Amino acid sequence: MRDITSYPNPIIIFNLSYNSFTSVPDEMEVSPFSMGVDIYGMHTLIGKNNFIALAVGGGFSVQNIKSNSLLVSADSSFFQKIPDDLKYSKNKLATVFVDLPIELRFRSRPNPRDKAGIVRKRNFRLALGFKIGYNIQRYIKYDGNDYRTSNYGNQIKFKEYRLKNILQYRYGVYTRIGIGKVSLFAYYALTDLFENNKGTELRPYSVGISIML
């Protein structure tokens, strides 16, 4: 039986992540259930059967930030803590991006066939990447007691799409490290959530699990 000598080159990458910001305001608490999803199609440009490879791709990224604070937007934007006497079941900021990632991959050869003749195909993988994205949707979703003075305390449920001051584009760096089809990954934005001088300085980041097919 022949051992495998080629390297796996994943075509689909699926990320499940926790999302938050650096320098979160003191009164703001980001929920541990602030989850996001990325799905990218990738193509290996250089080094398909080598230890080092270069790959590019495209896809969609969705981030959900759930917290105890509401996004308030006027001339500038900031998060304001929901008063303690108000009850709510949902409060989140959602953003959706079209992303273009490019990454440098380092990987070992898959394990050869074992004594039973089964190819395990598990190999060590490390990716260092950069991606740029364009925002195609952003909205707030709220379900709970109204926080507005005119209707304070009454039950409301709404989505608000016309959010001011959120930066239309983003770019940042990421890494993945793992064995076989499953890896840990982290992303750090090099852009803030809001436009320059139009909101609190909040730098998004994500950490999670990546599945490669």
CA 195 to chain CA centroid, Å, is: 19
pLDDT digits (tens, 9 = 90+) for 145-191: 998 777 888 999 999 998 999 999 999 999 999 998 899 999 999 99
Of the candidate ranges 51-60, 113-122, 164-173, 201-210, the one whose mean pLDDT is the lowest: 113-122
pLDDT digits (tens, 9 = 90+) for 48-70: 888 899 999 999 999 999 999 99
Average pLDDT over every residue of 31-51:
95
Mean pLDDT of the chain: 91
3-state DSSP of the chain: CCCCCCCCCCCEEEEEEEEEEECCCCCCCECCCCEEEEEEEEEEEECCCCCEEEEEEEEEEEEEEEECEEEEECCCEEEEECCCCCCEEEEEEEEEEEEEEEEEEEECCCCCECCCCCECCCCEEEEEEEEEEEEEEEEEEEEEECCCHHHCCCEEEEEECCCCCECCEEEEEEEEEEECCEEEEEEEECCCCECCCCECCCEEEEEEEEEEC
Cα 56-59-64 angle, rounded to 5 deg? 130
**What pLDDT does 111 receive?**
63
CA distance 75 to 77: 7
Instruction: Give just the sign of the alpha carbon dihedral 14, 11, 203, 198.
Output: negative
The residue ranges of every structural domain in the chain are: 12-212
Do β-strands 69-73 and 35-46 pair in parallel, antiparallel, or remain unpaired?
unpaired
Residue 2 has pLDDT above 80, yes or no: no
CA distance 193 to 170: 8
Residue range 12-212 forms a domain whose CATH class is mainly beta
pTM of the predicted structure, to 2 decimals: 0.89
Residue 121 has pLDDT above 70, yes or no: no
**What pLDDT does 5 receive?**
52
Residue 208 has pLDDT above 90, yes or no: yes
Residue 117 has pLDDT above 70, yes or no: no
**What pLDDT does 1 receive?**
41
**What pLDDT does 83 receive?**
92
Q: Which among 50, 88, 87, 94 is positioned nearest to 71, based on CA atoms? A: 94
Instruction: Give just the sign of the alpha carbon dihedral 111, 113, 114, 120.
Output: positive
**What pLDDT does 59 receive?**
98
Return the structure tokens found at 12: 């689909």
